[in-house]
Amino acid sequence: MRKGFTLVELIIVVIIIGILASIGLTQYTKVVEKGRAAEARLILGTLRSAEIAANIENGAYVVLASLGVGAPDATCLTTHFFSYSCATADGLCTATRCGTGVGKTPGSSVAYTKTLTIAGVWGGSPGY
């Protein structure tokens, strides 16, 4: 009697490992992207506070450049995962995920937004 594994047994093991790896990689990518969204939540909270202060001081909401927060505007920087904007009409601030080739690019072509109103209500693309 020979000791060892047959070719069929080895192929089955390799297939099972491949299936588990593909499922794990997909879930890992989602978790990493949700972690990167923490940048957007932090900066949007800062922008909201600055917009509230600007409204109290000036009686109106201002554009992002006037807030002096240091968040990247409509262009993506290599130091951030998102670009940001604030509306002067209602103070709504939006974070838009940088696309491929600009900013800290995603592992895939995931494009989504996160928003925060002056009232503190979160919104944006579903799932993020």
Q: Token pair 């592992």 is at which residue?
A: 107
What per-residue confidence (pLDDT) applies to 12? 95
DSSP class per residue in 48-107? HHHHHHHHHHHSS---HHHH------SSPPTT-SEEEEE-TTT--EEEEE--TTSSS--S
pLDDT tens by residue, the chain, 128 residues: 678 889 999 999 999 999 999 999 888 888 888 888 888 899 999 999 999 999 999 899 988 888 888 788 777 777 888 889 898 889 899 998 887 666 565 555 567 889 999 999 999 887 66
pTM score over 0.95: no
Spatial strand order in the sheet of 93-97: 82-86, 93-97, 113-116, 122-124
How much is the CA Rg of the chain, to the nearest whole Å?
22
Q: List residues bridging with 114 in a β-sheet.
A: 95, 124
The answer to whether 113 touches 127, Cβ cutoff 8 Å, is: no
Which domains can be identified in the chain, with CATH numbers? 8-124 (3.30.700)
Tokens describing residue 92: 């709504």
45-61: pLDDT as tens digits: 999 999 999 999 989 99
Report the C-alpha gap between 101 and 122 in whole angstroms.
28
Tokens describing residue 79: 């130091």
